[in-house]
Amino acid sequence: MNNLFLPISKKDMQEREWDYYDFLFISGDAYVDHPSFGTALLARLLEANGYRVCICPQPDRNNPSALTSFGRPRLGVLISGGVIDSMVNHYTASKKKRSNDVYSPGGRAGLRPDRCVIVYSNMARNAFGDIPVIIGGTEASLRRFAHYDYWQDSVRRSILVDSGADMLLFGMGERTLLTVAEKLADGIPINRITNLAGSCYISDKVPKNSIVLPSFEKVKDDKEAYARAAAMQYFEQDSIRGKTLVQQHGEKYLVQLPQAKPLSQKEMDKVYSLNYMRAWHPIYDKDGGIPALEEVKFSITSSRGCFGSCSFCALTFHQGRVVQSRSHASILAEAQKLIWDKDFKGYIHDVGGPTANFRAPACQKQLKSGTCRDRQCLYPSVCPNAEVNHKDYSELLRKLRALPKVKKVFIRSGIRYDYLIADKDDTFFRELCEHHVSGQLKVAPEHISDNVLRYMGKPGVKQYEKFCKKFYDINKEIGKEQYLVPYLMSSHPGSTLRDAIDLAEYLRKNNIRPEQVQDFYPTPGTLSTAMFYTGIDPRTMKKVYVPRDPHEKAMQRALLQSSRKENYKLVQEALIKAGRADLIGFGPHCLIKPERRTQNGSTDFKRKRAFNQNQGGFKKADRRAKGKRN
């Protein structure tokens, strides 16, 4: 069975009777041969186009033979940090070390180094010397310019400079990678491949007709310059109207060519129809496999790209705003593969992408002229030119539901609710509630303060309330008891204590007790991270309040779960500090009850009746409590 997977060792190469191979693909993730894992997708695509690829998953940085045992590749070394940035993989938003890694055998942490793209690039140089080294994937893509690094709390150089690699491919790299492979196979030196959309390289000079960003040396010391650079990167992120961007690093220049054009539907279908084993490599069986596969094994990717453009999300900077989708035939063919899997129980866990209910570009103009530079598709409201339509998605889901042996098709990807309620046809909304929700539907309002939502690039709370009403009305009509589970974020740039209190009041009023909340995490490549570092909104160049103090962040987070006993002290402190002590009491509007210390040092809250009868006067209640103790 091993020879059906791509080779991961010299032994595998010998079994295939290979006397050479073209590319060594180094990955920060374990080898899972499934299209949800970028390494497998790109490696299979190269294989389908006639190239021999060996995969080296999670090599030991202290073992030189980890790479050299394969022998020297004919064309080059490809490096990806994995599905997510290695630093995000290793550390929480509070910079604490994570105890597990779902992309590693048995979920074991510590099998890849911090900043693994840089480490692996150095390993490749040491192993093979002067050989083309090409980096890509999430970690490289989002760190392609000088960027703020949350874990060092400083600005780092482009990862292309720090890694010493020859080329960086950003975004979804299928088309660009195939072109690079073709040119290398034709004998063109990699330093002469300087015209490929979706790539970055280092140059001695500034190309003509390019936009020059503030240099690394400038942005690392000047936050206003950093914000300007972030805005220029953001506004030029488009395959049609985007310009070449240049950023000086010392005596050299980082050159980013425009974003690669999205794949056509035919190209998308081909990528997802390749010869995937749809399993982890058997070498991981002894460890219990790779946990990350369980989440996607019975899920189907139907689309890419997102025109939601949330400020805290890196999708705009990585996949882009133009949505691409697979054909129904392609998706149904993949569903048939799931059905015949021995572990399939009748449930397709998800059919979606970055946003499940986006199946086409926001408008046809995007395909002709590119995305709007200074205008968003959904913020502050759905653009009048947006083509809001769920008919294709509804039809696709009906076909999947009708397949033999399929009991249920769930939608677990994010649903953009403002886009959903903008659709005058309720058919999809009703079918969503009837067929694709299992008791709870997760949605992401993130906040309710218009002040915070403005910086997030999210719709106002009225849109969310309109969606909630419609959701519950539909469920009542169809006789189902189903609930919404909101994703919420604390301490986003722009969020003050008062904003956090407003959210806490909203949750209390609507009887919402979130089990989990996410503290804002400044990851590379987002507008929100630029705001966090600079205190400036790059889109307007106006100052924005940023909650950086760990204690204030703890208070904002605690307010979102104010009913929890362990959060009492933080919530009390926050309310007093914000001048909202009126929310401490027994009234229906209050977040917490007042506390009083008894003689034995415990806290006594049993003074509700006295408070109601004589607000602010607790002497009578104190005497009663004392009498009971005596």
Kindly tell me if the per-residue pLDDT of 76 is higher than 90. yes
On whether residue 178 sits in a domain, the answer given is yes
Contact 294, 67 (CB under 8 A): no
Cα distances from 198 to residues 145, 157, 174, 179, 616, in angstroms, run 14, 19, 10, 11, 65
Best CA proximity match to 452, nearest among 544, 387, 514: 544
Q: What is the pLDDT of residue 159?
A: 98
User: What confidence tens digit (pLDDT) does each residue in 321-362 have?
Assistant: 999 999 999 999 999 999 999 999 999 999 999 999 999 999
Beta bridge partners of 530: none
**How many domains, the chain?**
1
What is the residue-averaged pLDDT of the chain? 93
Contact 501, 583 (CB under 8 A): yes
Could you give the CA distance from residue 527 to residue 307 in angstroms, rounded to a whole number? 15
Could you give the CA distance from residue 579 to residue 496 in angstroms, rounded to a whole number? 13
Q: What is the pLDDT of residue 612?
A: 43
On whether residue 173 sits in a domain, the answer given is yes
User: What confidence tens digit (pLDDT) does each residue in 123-145 have?
Assistant: 999 999 999 999 999 999 999 99
On whether residue 24 sits in a domain, the answer given is yes
On whether residue 112 sits in a domain, the answer given is yes
267-281, 395-409, 605-619 — which is least confidently predicted?
605-619
Could you give the CA distance from residue 208 to residue 251 in angstroms, rounded to a whole number? 18
Best CA proximity match to 514, nearest among 611, 443, 435: 443
The tokens describing 469, both together, are: 């009403």
Could you give the CA distance from residue 485 to residue 126 in angstroms, rounded to a whole number? 50
Could you give the CA distance from residue 618 to residue 623 in angstroms, rounded to a whole number? 9
Identify the band that residue 2 occupies on the pLDDT scale cut at 50, 70 and 90: low
Kindly tell me if the per-residue pLDDT of 417 is higher than 90. yes
Q: What is the mean pLDDT of residues 367-391?
A: 94
Give the pairing of strands 252-256 and 536-537: unpaired
Give the DSSP H or E segment for 613.
Answer: helix 608-613
On whether residue 302 sits in a domain, the answer given is no
Q: What is the mean pLDDT of residues 306-321?
A: 92
User: What confidence tens digit (pLDDT) does each residue in 142-190 have?
Assistant: 999 999 999 999 999 999 999 999 999 999 999 999 999 999 999 999 9
Q: What is the pLDDT of residue 396?
A: 98
User: What confidence tens digit (pLDDT) does each residue in 258-293 have?
Assistant: 999 999 999 999 999 999 999 999 999 999 999 999
Q: 487 exposed, middle or buried (CB, 10 Å; 0-12, 13-18, 19+)?
A: middle
Best CA proximity match to 482, nearest among 492, 472, 473: 472
Kindly tell me if the per-residue pLDDT of 620 is higher than 90. no
The tokens describing 82, both together, are: 């994995």
Alpha helix segments (H runs only) across 188-278: 216-219, 223-235, 265-272
Looking at residue 492, its amino acid is H
User: What confidence tens digit (pLDDT) does each residue in 441-495 have?
Assistant: 999 999 999 999 999 999 999 999 999 999 999 999 999 999 999 999 999 999 9
Q: How far apart are the first and last CA of the chain?
A: 78
Q: What is the pLDDT of residue 602?
A: 54
On whether residue 436 sits in a domain, the answer given is no
| 3-class DSSP assignment, residue 268 | helix
On whether residue 85 sits in a domain, the answer given is yes
Q: Name the residue range of residue 88's domain.
A: 2-202+252-256
Could you give the CA distance from residue 100 to residue 59 in angstroms, rounded to a whole number? 18
Q: What is the pLDDT of residue 33?
A: 98
Kindly tell me if the per-residue pLDDT of 604 is higher than 80. no
On whether residue 392 sits in a domain, the answer given is no
DSSP structure string for 520-574: ----TT-HHHHHHHHSEETTTTEE------HHHHHHHHHHTTTTSGGGHHHHHHH
Q: What is the DSSP letter of 49?
A: T
Contact 520, 493 (CB under 8 A): yes
Give the chain's radius of gyration (CA, Å). Answer: 27
Contact 90, 116 (CB under 8 A): no
Cα distances from 323 to residues 439, 457, 549, in angstroms, run 29, 18, 38
**430-433 long-range contacts, CB within 8 A, separation 24+:** 430/474, 430/478, 431/394, 431/397, 431/398, 433/471, 433/474, 433/475, 433/478, 433/480, 433/482
Q: Left if phi > 0, otherwise alpha if psi is -120 to 50, otherwise beta: which for 411?
A: beta
The CATH number of the domain holding residue 187 is 3.40.50
Q: Left if phi > 0, otherwise alpha if psi is -120 to 50, otherwise beta: which for 446?
A: left
Q: What is the pLDDT of residue 611?
A: 43
Beta bridge partners of 408: 347
What percentage of the chain has pLDDT greater than the value 90?
A: 92
Q: What is the mean pLDDT of residues 561-577?
A: 96
Alpha helix segments (H runs only) across 64-136: 65-68, 86-90, 116-128
Q: What is the pLDDT of residue 614?
A: 41
Q: What is the pLDDT of residue 603?
A: 53
Cα distances from 560 to residues 441, 491, 504, 516, 566, in angstroms, run 20, 11, 5, 9, 13
